[in-house]
Structure 1
Amino acid sequence: MTPFLKWAGGKRWFVHKHTELLPKKFNRYIEPFLGGGSMFFHIKPQHALLGDANPDVISAYKAIKDDWKNLVQQLEIHQINHSDQYYYQIRAKTPNCLVEQASRMIYLNRTCFNGIYRVNRNGLFNVPRGSKNSVILPTDDFESMANLLASADIRCSDFQKLIDEAQEGDLIFADPPYTVRHNLNGFVKYNEKLFSWSDQERLAESLLRAKDRGAQIVMTNANHASVRELYQDKDFKFLTVSRASSISASTKSRKRFEELVILSHSS
């Protein structure tokens, strides 16, 4: 099942190459940094707690779950009307209806520059129009997504609240925001706008508590000494994997970067 959002730091590459690192059995699936949901759509869990602090992301998932047919109709309208002028008109709007919020989010994600999600100081989406014009994609299967999401608990929430609900046998897949080019430019240890260092510390503490309750954990993070120190001597396992960076204006400048995988179990 192909994710419907293009997301910076998305884990499609992880799904294609490293699913053997996931535990074979678990109870509930918990993903506190949902984003594009690559892992969720790959695993297709029967019971899931899905969350993200981004309200636009959550509105999209909720609209698919609750009213996917109306959502598709709205996307078809966006497709018919798509143009430079229309793009910026939609970008400037702040709809109140859930389906309109979701269709706006998906439309902008698919037609903005490089699929980037960025807001200004007032919290308004400000990415310019990109080169892609397809609003409806051949990989779209919103009906199957709705069926999968039907049993999921979807929340706009801070990650800690979701992780604190994990119980014995649950699986937490944590993919927090972090600097894309940390291997070349240095890990941004204090990035308050993206994900602060205190957030990294809170995440480590939350995951340790969940592990102590018997939850299974798979986390991807920056392969940096400061991150490793947070989980050192806590019975976590470290693996280093590489991926191609997907964030670049030119495909020629995209290179491979290392990421850290932190596990609570033997793979």
Structure 2
Amino acid sequence: MIDQLSVVPNAAASPFLKWAGGKRWLVSRGFPKPKAFNRLIEPFLGSAAIFFSLRPNQAILADINEELINLYRVIRDSPSEFEALLRSHHDQHSHDHYYAVRKQIIEDDLERAAKMLYLNRTCLNGLYRVNRHGKFNVPIGTKTSVLAAGENFENYSKILSIADIVCQDFEETIDLSGQGDFLFVDPPYTVKHNMNGFVKYNENIFSWDDQVRLAAALRRAGSRGAAILVTNADHESLRDLYRKDFSYASIGRQSILAGSAAHRGCTTEALFALNLEPFD
């Protein structure tokens, strides 16, 4: 069972971003990891909950979402300037300001980053969703505070300073891994024969073929000696895909991706591990 494994303590730092499918809940439960590793690699970055909990000495943090990667780079490289812009949004926040910012087309990396986190913190349920033209289209939520009390982006910058932060396809990232690396892999939860085999992932399609490509890349990484933990949908098609080579466990959690608390319930997710202690 999962509680028989070596687990990590609660997060050493909390993520600054809310992200659909984020793994704060997994951090709070504890998750299997190598007893020692040299570098953490995350090919699907999201809120970086695992990175912030482990605080590794080296990391590759990657995602195909350009806006997401720009946000992490700006906070790493220009934290004080970023915080000043975010504070300006905090001071101006209103219904009109939200929608004015949402429709802005911004070229400057620093301003783009501040816009993204402002919208993330004030939109409905912290959801990141874009339309077919790649435009963020989530309505305003109920939160009125943009900056948390005592929030310190200089500290986030120091934590992120050890990381290479890259925008690229997951396979490119996984192919960088080898002996001494810990791969934490949290892809979009596509399953076979569901929604015609794909779900929307930013402006890109993450298909069942991508799930197959991901599993193949992870097996190659495992053969090079990387320790791997995968979270995915707890579905027969995924269990079949990872049945060979990987250990499996099902873990329950509370679902929070719904418009109202009344529609949020319990669900299970799958954990698949390679070159880690087995689940049983």
Name the TM-score class by shorter chain. over 0.9
Percent identity reads 45
**Secondary structure, counterpart of 1:120 in structure 2:** coil
Contact preservation (8 Å) 1:2, 1:140: no
- The residue type paired with residue 36 of structure 2 is K
Q: How much does 1:22 deviate?
A: 1.3
Q: How much does 1:126 deviate?
A: 0.6
Give the RMSD, CA atoms, in angstroms.
1.5
Q: How much does 1:58 deviate?
A: 0.6
Question: What does 1:1-16 correspond to in 2, within 5 Å?
Answer: 1-16=13-28
Contact preservation (8 Å) 1:189, 1:197: no
**Secondary structure, counterpart of 1:248 in structure 2:** coil
- The residue type paired with residue 3 of structure 1 is P
CA deviation digits over 1:134-173, x for unaligned, max 9?
A: 1101263311110011121000111000000001120000
The residue aligned with 1:191 is 198
Aligned residues, how many? 260
Question: What does 1:10-29 correspond to in 2, within 5 Å?
Answer: 10-19=22-31, 21-29=32-40
- The residue type paired with residue 193 of structure 1 is K
- The residue type paired with residue 17 of structure 1 is R
CA deviation digits over 1:96-151, x for unaligned, max 9?
A: 11111110000000001111110011101011111111110126331111001112
Contact preservation (8 Å) 1:28, 1:45: yes
Contact preservation (8 Å) 1:2, 1:139: no
**Secondary structure, counterpart of 2:200 in structure 1:** coil
Among residues 263, 270, 278, which one is paired with 1:253 in the alignment? 263
CA distance in 1, matches of 2:167, 2:105: 18
Question: CA separation of 1:114/1:164 partners in 2, compared to 1, >3 Å: closer, same or farther?
Answer: same
Question: CA separation of 1:261/1:231 partners in 2, compared to 1, >3 Å: closer, same or farther?
Answer: same
> Is it true that 1:263 corresponds to 2:273 in the alignment?
yes
> Is it true that 1:110 corresponds to 2:121 in the alignment?
yes
Question: CA separation of 1:33/1:124 partners in 2, compared to 1, >3 Å: closer, same or farther?
Answer: same
Q: How much does 1:189 deviate?
A: 6.7
Bigger Cα displacement from structure 2, 37-46 vs 189-198: 189-198
CA distance in 1, matches of 2:200, 2:127: 15
Q: How much does 1:47 deviate?
A: 0.2
Among residues 207, 218, 237, which one is paired with 2:229 in the alignment? 218
Contact preservation (8 Å) 1:187, 1:222: no
Question: What does 1:18-97 correspond to in 2, within 5 Å?
Answer: 18-19=30-31, 21-97=32-108
CA deviation digits over 1:1-54, x for unaligned, max 9?
A: 1111111110000000023x1112111110000011100000011100000111
Among residues 163, 169, 175, which one is paired with 1:152 in the alignment? 163
Q: How much does 1:236 deviate?
A: 0.9
**Secondary structure, counterpart of 1:247 in structure 2:** coil
Contact preservation (8 Å) 1:3, 1:41: yes
